[in-house]
Amino acid sequence: MNQPIPYGRQHITDEDIAAVAEVLRGPFLTQGPHISAFETAFASYIGCQYAVAVANGTAALHLCCMALGVTEGTRVITTPITFSASANCVRYCGGEVHFADIDPETALLDINAVRTLVEQHPKGYFSGIVPVDFAGYPVDLAAFRELADAHGLWILEDSCHSPGGSFTDSQGVDHRCGDGSLADLAIFSFHPVKHIAAGEGGMITTNDEALYKHLMRLRTHGITNKPGEFTEPYPGEPERGGWYMELQELGYNYRLTDMQAALGNSQLARAEAMLARRQAIAKRYDDAFAGTPAVTIVPPDNVSHAYHLYVVQVDDRKGLYDFLRTRNIMAQVHYIPVHLMPYYRQFGWKPGDFPNAERYYARCLSLPMFPTLTDEEQAYVIASVLEFCR
C-alpha cells in the first residue's frame, strides 16, 4: 500500500460539511438549537431518558464524578486497561483510584476481582465502580449492578468505545450500552476515531432526572437563571429581570458548540450503518485469524460488540508492530495499563499487581478498524499479519 492505513479514521461526508456550514451561516456558533437536537436524537438512539452534551469524553467523566459526589477520600474501582481518563476523573475530584484485574477472556474489568476487592473491606469503604466497554465489548452490567446494589455502590459506565453495542442478560433482557437501565450514568466520546466524530465532544446519558439537572448546571460554570431554594434577591433588585443568573456551585465551561453538535447529529444519522460495517470488518478478521497464533476475542451470541477497536494478541507484539509499520499499516497499542503510569506509581501500584492486565498489554495490538476501510486494504492487513505469524 502506498498510503498508510491508520488504526482508526473519521469519515466526513458532504452532508456533514453542509450541516456545519449551515451553522456557520446562522446566528449561533456556541450555544444554539443543534445542541438540544443532538441530545434528543442521541438519547433516542441509545434508549435513555436524558442526554447532556459536553466538550469531550474526559469532561463527561469529570462532571459525572462531581455529580456522583466524588470528593477527597472517595474510593472508586476501575480497570487498568483503559485510557487514563477513566481513572483520572476520580483524581480530578480528589478521590482515590483502586484498580482490579481484567478477565483475560474479554479484556474487561473482572467482576470476580471486583467482588473480592469489595468484600475485603467494610461496607461503605468504596463508593463506586467505573467499568469500561473496552474496544466496544459491552460489560455485563447486570452482574455489576447486583454487586453494586449489595454494597451501596454507584456505577459510571465508560461507553466511549461502544455506542450501539448491547448485551442480553440472563433473564433475556437486552441492554444497550449507556441506556441507563443498569448504570447510574454513562459517557460517550466524539473524538475523530470514535463511532461518531464531532472533532471533539462527549455525551452523558442517564435515566436519573436529578443527576441530569445537576449535570446541566455543572457543565455551564454551575450557573443557572432559576433561583435556588435559599437564594434571596440581590440587593437593590426587588424583581428579577431577564438578565438574572446565579452561581449556585463551582462548575466548569464544559459545553459543546453548535457546530460540533450539528456535525455529531449528521454523523448519528448513519450510526447504525457504520456500526454494521465495523461488525462486518470484525467478522472478516475473526475468520481470517481463527486457528492462527494471532489470538482474538470473539464475543458470545448474547453480546453485540461495537468494535471501536479490533485487537489481536501475539507473543512478539513489538515484532508485529514494527513489521506492520514497514508495510504502511499503522497498528496501535491499547492500552499501557494505567496502574503502571508514572503518575499512578506514586500511589504504590507496581508491576505484578494485575497479571492479567499486564499480560494482555504485552501481547495486544489494534489493527485498522474504521467503516471506510476497504476490502482491499483489509485483505492487505490480514495477509501481512499472517505472513508475520507463519
Would you call 194 a catalytic residue per the annotation? yes
By DSSP bridging, strand 75-78 and strand 96-99 are parallel
- Are the C-beta atoms of 341 and 374 separated by less than 8 Å? no
- Are the C-beta atoms of 372 and 311 separated by less than 8 Å? no
Torsion of CA 110, 67, 260, 330, to 10 degrees: -20
- Are the C-beta atoms of 219 and 252 separated by less than 8 Å? yes
Rounded to whole angstroms, how far apart are CA atoms 286 and 298?
7
Which residues, at least 6 apart from 375, have a Cβ–Cβ distance to it below 8 Å? none
- Are the C-beta atoms of 136 and 154 separated by less than 8 Å? no
Which residues, at least 6 apart from 386, have a Cβ–Cβ distance to it below 8 Å? 288, 289, 292, 294
Catalytic residue from among 194, 213, 226, 283: 194
3-class DSSP state for residue 110? coil
Question: Which H or E run contains 148?
Answer: helix 141-151
- Are the C-beta atoms of 43 and 273 separated by less than 8 Å? no
- Are the C-beta atoms of 364 and 334 separated by less than 8 Å? yes
- Are the C-beta atoms of 70 and 87 separated by less than 8 Å? no
Which residues, at least 6 apart from 148, have a Cβ–Cβ distance to it below 8 Å? 128, 129, 154, 155
Alpha carbon 38 to chain centroid, angstroms: 18
- Name the DSSP class of 60: H
Which residues carry out catalysis? 194
